Amino acid sequence: MAATLRTSIVDLLVPWAETIPDSIAVRTPPGPDRVSLTQLRFLGEIGAARDRYRAAGLNPGERTVLIAPSCPEFLIEFLGAHAAGLAVVAVNPLSTARELMYILEDSEARRLVAHPAMAEAGRLAASEKDIGFDTLPLVGNEGPILQLGDGGAADFDRVEFEWDDLAALLYTSGTTGKPKGAMLSLGNFIATTDIVKEMTQTSPDDRSATGLPLFHVFGLADMALPALSAGAPLTLFPRWDPQAFVDALTEDEISIISGVPTMWMSVLTNADGAATPNLRLVSSGGAAIAGEVIRKVEARFSAPVAEGYGLTETAGLGTFNPLFGTRKVGSVGPSTPGFQVKVIDPDGASLPAGEVGEVVLRGPAVMLGYWKKPEATAEVLDDDGWFRTGDLGKLDDDGYLFIVDRIKDLIIHGGYNVYPREVEEVLYEIPGVAQASVVGTPDEKYGQQVTAVIALSPGAHLDAAEVDRFARENLAAYKIPRIIEFVEELPKGPSGKILKREIVRMYTQTS
């Protein structure tokens, strides 16, 4: 793609500070406390954040951890750190101090910056690991205004990255071991932005809105950066409120919205209708969306729902139902521009249309690899650049992908990824727990519910309330088991391995 001359993510948005300086770049939801940042003001705030990192003594190539909800401050801090040459480790604001300490140690971050509303766990983790800590400065409608020099926005001071230089670490994992840091490069972010803009034809005439978390690749790489890069005003919702979201569609004349299926379901059931004459695209991802939900959303908003498929390791890209072409309900679409998708058998041979196998992807947004984990990288990424997703799927004769099942035991709860092994490790710390298995069981509202099945040691006494209390102290809220069952023995195979699929089958039948 003709984007190789761009040497910073900031290059995606600096031209707008010069060409449309007084237009809105990013804003909070409508209301008396709304904050709206113009293009010039937004870039000025990014410059101020860059200077704070430099003053703290951080050098290009080092890592910093960022904890914040979906708000303008997240983007200011992320882009300011990038302008200073840093790689940003964006983490879930619901993370506990225990979870943060692992990420700080693994990423070798030198600083942690947290939104004041969620700073407690970050402050404790930073203290334990003896690294720098700051609360993120909040912005209002008054603040730094960038003074453009003779060279205009092109003079904005930012560190130049190489195409394959690390820009962000986003932690993810399969069902075994600790979370792994997916290394996303400058090139990954630039390519993703270009591809999304091409698929959605986003322009300065558009208005975007989302309640997606920006620490997640979908919200950051596939929604926020493409909107900013196109000069399209972006409305961010730090807390999901379906009625406020629907109201904003009219007030802000929104044309593009993005979210996960649970968001659309909550809009359908918890928000009164409002006219949305400008809405032209509903982008859905994060989990499979039911065909009936698609039909209801399209009827409600008179706009197409386009579902896509991607992973953190592919910057959220892979396939997408085309906005300008045939959309197939139940499919996640054909490959996105620049990407290839195929389905392979266990030996790696490509399978014909209609046959189920593992989905593999190749394209310019595929990660560099897992941070400090060459063996784990080699398991999923081959020398030709094909990434093994661990998901089962099939292609039809038109090249549209249908996801059939997951090879991994990953649980997707309301669009959040929950990794069973991580939860199980916490459960095993509870005195009296002999065996524990965590699985996802079907849930109408959240897609999957985190379910813990526990066998106790002989003579041990433990109830669900005690398990819940311990889990709440050590796990982020979305990882806490909502269903806790006790059994005498967990089902096992001949090798002694716990049979998770058997547990899922048992509790699906009895739920």
Provide, rounded to the nearest whole percent, the portion of the chain with pLDDT above 70: 94
- Assigned token pair, 461: 């006494």
- Assigned token pair, 151: 């060279």
**476-511 residues labelled b (16+ CB within 10 A) or e (exposed):** bebbbbeebeeeeebbeeeeeebebeebbebbeeee
Q: Where in the chain is the domain with CATH 3.30.300.30?
A: 411-510
Specify the pLDDT at position 406.
65
Task: Report the length, in residues, of the chain.
Answer: 511
C-alpha 185/C-alpha 330 separation (Å) is 32
Specify the pLDDT at position 415.
86
The conformational region for residue 201 under phi > 0 = left, psi -120 to 50 = alpha, else beta, is left
DSSP state of 77: H
Specify the pLDDT at position 421.
76
Whether residue 151 is predicted with pLDDT greater than 80 in this model: the reply is no
Specify the 3-state DSSP secondary structure of 403: strand
Q: Does domain 13-190 have CATH number 3.40.50.12780?
A: no
- Which amino acid is residue 336, in one-letter code? T
Whether residue 303 is predicted with pLDDT greater than 50 in this model: the reply is yes
Give the DSSP H or E segment for 269.
helix 261-270
Specify the pLDDT at position 497.
62
Q: Where in the chain is the domain with CATH 3.40.50.980?
A: 13-190
C-alpha 88/C-alpha 75 separation (Å) is 11
DSSP state of 424: H
CA of 134: how far to CAs of 110, 111, 310, in Å? 12, 8, 33
Whether residue 464 is predicted with pLDDT greater than 50 in this model: the reply is yes
Q: What class does CATH assign to 411-510?
A: alpha beta
Mean pLDDT for all residues in the chain = 90
**Could you tell me if 290 and 167 are in contact, meaning their C-beta atoms sit under 8 angstroms apart?**
no
As a whole number of Å, the CA-based R_g of the chain is 23
**Segment among 173-187, 218-232, 469-483 with least mean pLDDT:** 173-187
